[in-house]
Structure 1
Amino acid sequence: MATLRLYNVVVDCEDALAQARFWAAVLGWELRQQEPGWATVGDPDGPQRLGFGPVPEGKTVKNRLHLDLLPEQGVSREAERARLEELGARLLQTVTEDGLVAHDVMADPEGNEFCLLEPYPGYFG
């Protein structure tokens, strides 16, 4: 039996508070903690958290870990992409598989990649 639980996913960044505010707006979460050089956001209805801590170097290569975001049922990927771009994200590429859109690869304001999935019905089953 495992004796550990996932407490936090931490994102290296330059500006912890700015990143926390961006991701809180993206996910509809709340800012939970802010200290000099550290900030967290959390799901108001659950234990999920993201932490943001500054590092001295900037991002230079592709993430080894990324988030997949799924629009709510009935919300289009295009509408969510527009909302995310208004918040400061940018589209890097749209990925297709077998002739259908699979997801958009996007970047947050500091360049960390994440995917915005096409909300196919199978995701909600």
Structure 2
Amino acid sequence: MIATLQCTVIDCPDPTALATFYRGILGWELDAEDPSWVTLTAPNGTRIAFQEVPFHRPPRWPDPEHPQQFHLDFDVPTRADVERAHEEVVALGASFLHDSGGQRSGFRVFADPAGHPFCLCYGQTLGPAGAQ
């Protein structure tokens, strides 16, 4: 092993706003002491950081001219749970982009308020190939 992962960093125009959005999904602890570098920390120590980029150009999934660069996958247990989660992430500010349509397993793609795609996945153990 060469190193361990410190955190995942997401570029965005407003770190506090985007971290607050993801806090609404994950419930992790928010540290916004420095508004240009805001972090969320899970109980197990996993961290996501949000870095201010004033001229951020958001991806436009699935447009290859504006690639997604990365995406986050969030697990929900069942398709019924994804219905509830869908409404909750939209209420937090997400935009719905795509539904894979699976009955027992699948995913829904959303854009966060800064335009980054993320997926709500259900009934599977790996991320959806369609959102890669």
TM range, normalised to the smaller chain?
A: 0.7 to 0.9
Matched with 2:35 is 36
Matched with 2:12 is 13
Matched with 2:92 is 87
Give the whole-Å Cα distance in 1 for the aligned partners of 2:79 and 2:120. Answer: 15
Give, as a single letter, the amino acid of the residue that structure 2 aligns with 1:46: N
Q: Which runs of 4+ in 1 moved over 2 A?
A: 72-75
Give the whole-Å Cα distance in 2 for the aligned partners of 1:107 and 1:36. Answer: 22
Between the two proteins, the alignment pairs up a number of residues equal to: 118
Give the whole-Å Cα distance in 2 for the aligned partners of 1:28 and 1:114. Answer: 16
Deviation at 1:72, TM superposition (A): 4.6
RMSD: 2.2
Deviation at 1:101, TM superposition (A): 5.7
Gaps of 5+ in 2: 60-65, 126-132
For residues 28-55 of structure 1, the C-alpha deviation after alignment (integer angstroms, 9 at most, x for no partner) is 1110343031100111x21111100111
Gaps of 5+ in 1: none
* TM-score normalised over the length of structure 2: 0.79
